[in-house]
Structure 1
Amino acid sequence: MKLVQPHYQEPTCQAALQQHGLDAFDDWWVREIDWFEAPNQRRGGWSGVGKLVLPLAGQSALTVFVKKQQNHGRRTWQHPLTGEPTFRREFHRLQALAAAGIPSPKVLMYAESLQPGNQRAILVTENLHGFVDLEQWLPTLLKQSQAVRRQYLRAIARQIRRFHDLGWVHRALYPKHIFVQADDITAQVALIDLEKARKSLGAWRRARFDLAALHRHTEGLADRDRLYFFKQYLHGEAFARPLSWCDKQLLKRITQRSKR
């Protein structure tokens, strides 16, 4: 017996999706998409993501990212045998960020199809219009004036701190998972790929884990800019105050972990 659970569908996009025959789980499952790369084969199943452009009459096309997975779950104390679909976790995290006012991909649809030995899930999110990932944009950012460069570093640092203050640790905080509006003076920042994110006790633990990963993957950033970023993360508007002994110890541990 198959059980389809339409956990969520964004009301404002239902008509657009229906135009393309995409208003049910099976419609999405059989729809061909262009994978960004071959689906990841692990956890006893597979998981992949692709892009789909849906033309709409009289308006701009709707660009969406479609994530599909089958028998690709993470075992938890609540799901010790079959595991919980990793996209279910990401869906809940995206909804939590939206509720907290932190930019992230807008969820258009999430659903699961559950049957013995065949657990499937689909997560559909809207493209982040006007955003570019930091990995792609970092070389351009490094060529900007110090004032412009620090404007973006400040926005990124404070957004990560807001995320951490919710009690979350990203656990894959690489530049490719941080998106910025490169042509926006307000420097909006969005976070993506939250399937590994989890609640974590201890502000130090969250900072050490995520900032070390980011530090390790931002080659070319000068030490003075890294220190500025760290101070903005720690103290925000009060970034100019000297680092305390505890601040220095945290920075030391982040640097040490980044070299692993």
Structure 2
Amino acid sequence: MEHSLNHYQDPVYEAALQRHGLDTFEAWWTRDIAWFEAPNQRRGGWSGVGKLVLPQENLPALTLFVKKQQNHGRRTLCHPFAGEPTFRREYHRLQSLAKAGIPAPKVLMYAESPQAGNQRAILVTENLHGFVDLEQLLPSMLNQPQHARRQLLRAVARQIRRFHDLGWVHRALYPKHIFVRPDDVAPDVALIDLEKARQSLGAWRRARFDLAALHRHTAELSDRDRLYFLKHYLYGETYTRPLGWCDRQLLKWITKRSKR
């Protein structure tokens, strides 16, 4: 891709994107997209996400989420002044999850391009077909029979545990960032919005931070459902065992932190 840095493009989609004139950074940058909301103005720059639907001949339309940002970075030891673009961080995390076999939005393109001293970045991902975010599912889920409700809780708990076992903490684990594709046997679960995610030492630290955020935003769930979720997160197939002393302390910390 011309005049771009840290460029990645999925070769499977290259021809389709070229047919729509999306073969350069500037073509993506100037392309009108339907913003979900006005771009955020913070960190000395701006960042926004929108939706783009590209028709395809004899194939379903390609539904994309396009993230654009300018001078919107996070300062790190390696990038102490300008900061590292937050979408670069998210791009690397999405690729890591793909390698680990954990469902996540598929990256079609990522690129950066400086302009007149401005740091610009674009991240393009494909729509998660058939998935619905947990925030939308919660109201109907509460009216489901117990076995169906707990099947979903079990799938979410185990996927979050897989994510944590890779050493990641999400740092924004809200229901709207957990996507589920319902299935009568084993629902698929995917995580989105990974720009804040980072590596973190300590399994308890990861659990306490992320599960407290999720606990705080799922107040509709009963205490029994919460306990069922936590035991599947902790023990998997051996979830019927009672909570040990350390895990009871973890539950107390999660509950306490969720009220902050």
Aligned amino acid, residue 137 of structure 1: L
Aligned-pair identity in percent equals 76
Q: Secondary structure at the match of 1:161?
A: helix
Deviation at 1:24, TM superposition (A): 1.1
CA distance in 2, matches of 1:50, 1:91: 16
1:201 aligned to 2:201?
yes
Deviation at 1:259, TM superposition (A): 0.3
Aligned amino acid, residue 84 of structure 2: E
| Large movers: runs of 4+ above 3 Å | none
Residue number in structure 1 paired with 2:213: 213
CA distance in 1, matches of 2:249, 2:28: 49
Which runs of structure 2 are paired with 1:1-260 in the superposition (5 Å)? 4-115=4-115, 117-183=117-183, 185-260=185-260
Deviation at 1:23, TM superposition (A): 1.2
Deviation at 1:186, TM superposition (A): 1.6
CA distance in 1, matches of 2:69, 2:204: 33
CA distance in 2, matches of 1:46, 1:106: 24
Gaps of 5+ in 1: none
Aligned amino acid, residue 151 of structure 1: Q
Distance change in 2, residues 1:184/1:14 (3 Å): farther
Aligned amino acid, residue 91 of structure 2: F
Aligned residues: 259
Deviation at 1:7, TM superposition (A): 1.9
Deviation at 1:116, TM superposition (A): 5.5
CA contact (8 A) 1:3 1:115 kept: no
Greater Cα shift, 167-176 or 115-124: 115-124
CA distance in 2, matches of 1:11, 1:184: 34
Deviation string for 1:33-86 (max 9, x for gaps)?
Answer: 010000000000000000000000111000000000000000000000110000
Gaps of 5+ in 2: none
Deviation at 1:196, TM superposition (A): 0.1
Aligned amino acid, residue 178 of structure 1: I
Deviation at 1:114, TM superposition (A): 2.1
CA distance in 2, matches of 1:113, 1:141: 44
CA contact (8 A) 2:22 2:28 kept: yes
CA distance in 1, matches of 2:38, 2:115: 25
Q: Secondary structure at the match of 1:62?
A: strand
Q: Secondary structure at the match of 1:61?
A: strand
Q: How high is the TM-score relative to the length of structure 1?
A: 0.98
Q: Secondary structure at the match of 2:4?
A: strand
Q: How high is the TM-score relative to the length of structure 2?
A: 0.98
